Amino acid sequence: MSCNILAIESSCDETSAAVISDGKILNNIVATQSVHEKYGGVVPELASRAHQQHLIPVVAEALKSSGLDKSSLSAVAFTRGPGLMGALLVGGSFAKAFAYALDLPLIEVNHMEAHVLAHFIDTPSPAFPFICLTVSGGHTQLVLVKSHLDMELLGETSDDAVGEAFDKIAKILGLPYPGGPHLDKLAANGNPEAFTFPISDMKGLAFSFSGIKTAVLYFLKDNIKDDPEFIAHHLEDICASVQYALIRMLMQKLVRASRELGIREVAIAGGVSANSGLRTALKEAAKNQSWNVYLPRLEYCTDNAAMVAMAAHYKYQAGQFCGLDISPLAKMKIGNHGKK
């Protein structure tokens, strides 16, 4: 009998549903929330309301396009955390009600582990053990992946996530929301050595990105005094120089982790893994470090339910289910399972 799982993702501002059948993703339906654009960032309360509006249509489309009836489902999975509490509550509550109504097993999924397991949607996939750099608007982590369900956090940011640094610096530069992709696009035509920004190097495998945001802010203020149009005149070079510094901070820790652990299987995951500069840097490092590198398809970089479905597939095989009394965890950590 086939194993068919409906998965729901609602951790931030993407409402998504996907269906997986015997480990094969059948679809990946995503509704993006445009309501946040005029605020220049995600507004949690508005995100929760938008999830309420989008969730039923997204789930209905996922079931319809999969060719499966809800009576054919084997389980329901949802993102438990980390994420925005209100957004997690919407997705989790729907999943619980759906599972209860159909008397189906319920599977809770760690959002960051799901990003890592997106690498197993397509082939080739990494061999165990491998190191995964998970980078997004809310997280920057180095993860040792020992198996599909056994992961160890090696290091993470002590303050801001790299995606947050990209977006906030882009906002300072006057770029549209979300700013990270716009900064990346402009950086492609700029000189990464035009300006120098500080490269933080925390002890061990920890990251820090708060300093570069402050440095960029004061750099711009100082130069605008002499040239009010400084940003407009040097926008591409500023973007390229900022991106160069941020990527260097990521890569120096990734290289360090690889050398310390003696692991050459390396992957990236999360929204910032779509950044073209980071992808190029990773490919170059693969040659210099003799790595086997794995890059997820762009549609599986940003928040999506397909990655949640893939994680749920392995948890279903292992019999890892949860009860209806499970609660969301806004600050859920890698390896944090089964706690109410």
- Over residues 113-144, the pLDDT tens digits come to 999 999 999 999 999 999 999 999 889 999 99
Residue from 253, 262, 263, 250 nearest 131 by CA: 263
Percent of the chain residues topping a pLDDT of 90: 90
| Ligand-binding site membership of 275 (annotated) | yes
Cα 86 from chain centroid? 18
| Ligand-binding site membership of 136 (annotated) | yes
| Ligand-binding site membership of 139 (annotated) | no
The pLDDT, as a whole number, for residue 340 is 45
At 9-20, the pLDDT tens digits run: 999 989 999 999
Residue pair 142/310 in contact by the 8 Å Cβ criterion: no
Residue pair 248/203 in contact by the 8 Å Cβ criterion: no
| Ligand-binding site membership of 140 (annotated) | no
| Ligand-binding site membership of 214 (annotated) | no
| Ligand-binding site membership of 196 (annotated) | no
Domains annotated for the chain, with CATH where assigned, are 4-116+302-317 (3.30.420.40), 124-296 (3.30.420.40)
What is the distance between the alpha carbons of residues 34 and 44, in angstroms, rounded to a whole number? 13
Q: Which residues have a Cβ under 8 Å from the Cβ of 232 and sit 6 or more positions away?
A: none
Residue 276: in which H helix or E strand, if any? helix 276-289
| Ligand-binding site membership of 135 (annotated) | yes
At 184-233, the pLDDT tens digits run: 999 999 999 999 999 988 889 999 999 999 999 999 999 999 999 999 99
φ, ψ of residue 336 to 5 degrees: the values are -90, 95
Residue pair 190/276 in contact by the 8 Å Cβ criterion: no
The pLDDT, as a whole number, for residue 32 is 81
What is the distance between the alpha carbons of residues 45 and 69, in angstroms, rounded to a whole number? 33
| Ligand-binding site membership of 66 (annotated) | no
Triad 281, 283, 287: Cα angle to 5°: 110
